[in-house]
Amino acid sequence: MALLPITPYDKTFYEEQLMDFLPDKFIDCHNHIWLSRFVTGQDNACRSCAWPEMVAKDNSIEDLMQTNLDLFPEKTVIPVLYSYVNVAVDTKQSNAYVAECARKHHFPALYLSRPKEPIEEIEKNVISGGFCGLKVYLEFAPAYIPTNEIRIYDFLPHEQLALADKHGWIVQLHIARPKRLADPLNYIQLWEIEQKYPNLQLLVAHLGRAYANEDIGDALEYLKHTEKTIWDFTANTNAYVMEQVLNYFGPERFIYGSDFPIFRMRARRVVENGFYINEIPQNSLGDVSKDPHMREIPYPEAEQITYFIYEEIAACKKAAKKLGLTRKDIENIFYENSARIFHVNQVK
């Protein structure tokens, strides 16, 4: 049974703009799965954006798989799984659920770690759970650190980096700080991680949260001599930013991710004075009046708003066309690069 309604506008958008662009089989490096019963606490700080919390109360593996069936007919999608990233979630239960679903469906998975979690415990759980590496998140930085001052090492400590380096694990990283990728502290620490821990595979989520052109700053020029760091364009709809990252690092270090269930919402993104705003159909998510990143669009104009993930892929297509990328480049971006780093053909 379908989970998401597909309107004639959605169908036309997908068939005319995306179907031929996407490979028949592709890998989605960025998916959150959890059950509502795992939310056992409260997130009083809410150190990341509030609007994603409004999309779904949970996202079971069944819902995720149905989402891909609904949105990508005639395609095969292999999702990389990990937990919901929120301090209110019991990570022990959630990581166990992710491991169980990954084994059952032969999908890759990442282990959600907390910065104070004992290294021995992380090592044991990652290996026994069959995880490919770590998912870390700014929400878990110590509470005494102001949100705008969170550094990468506050939620991804050197002990965890050393462990990942020891095993050659993936580390998927969502950076913090108001200037996002443009913050010198962020891009200097990204450089340091590649230099100090060359055996791990660093994966920078959301293109470093560079959702506006201004969010790039000097980061790409500073990082241009990195050799391994990979960039996922999850939840990013900025074709210019994608073009710049591709120019600096090439299609071999650029991969697709959805951020489901968040990007199964209907939305389009605009940027005003360097600030991104998600335009959504009126009354589609509840009261968003207090969130500066959200703007409701009344009907009938809202009928021309399709799924956010379609907007993301369309932006990638625009960047690819601007750069003259080949069909092989697209295959690399949507399948081969992730298959290599997540060892997709070896997942049993």
- Which pTM does this prediction carry? 0.96
Name the helix (H) or strand (E) containing 133.
Answer: strand 133-136
User: 87 pLDDT band (50/70/90 cuts)?
Assistant: confident
Is 285 inside a domain boundary? no
User: 31 pLDDT band (50/70/90 cuts)?
Assistant: very high
How many domains are there within the chain?
Answer: 1
Is 298 inside a domain boundary? no
- The residue range of the domain holding 56 is 8-264+308-346
Question: CA–CA separation, 87 vs 97, rounded Å?
Answer: 17
pLDDT surpasses 70 at 45:
no
Is 90 inside a domain boundary? yes
| Per-residue model confidence as pLDDT tens digits over 217-245 | 999 999 999 999 999 999 999 999 999 99
Contact between 83 and 135 (Cβ < 8 Å): yes
| Per-residue model confidence as pLDDT tens digits over 289-347 | 989 999 999 999 999 999 999 999 999 999 999 999 999 999 999 999 999 999 998 65
Is 294 inside a domain boundary? no
Collapsing DSSP to helix, strand or coil, 340 comes out as helix
Q: Which residues are paired to 66 by β-bridges? A: none
Task: For CA atoms 95, 99, 104, 109, give the dihedral sign.
Answer: positive
Collapsing DSSP to helix, strand or coil, 324 comes out as coil
CATH of the domain at 99: 3.20.20.140
Name the helix (H) or strand (E) containing 281.
Answer: strand 275-281
Is 34 inside a domain boundary? yes
Is 301 inside a domain boundary? no
Is 198 inside a domain boundary? yes
In this predicted model, which residue has the larger pLDDT, 224 or 87? 224
Is 272 inside a domain boundary? no
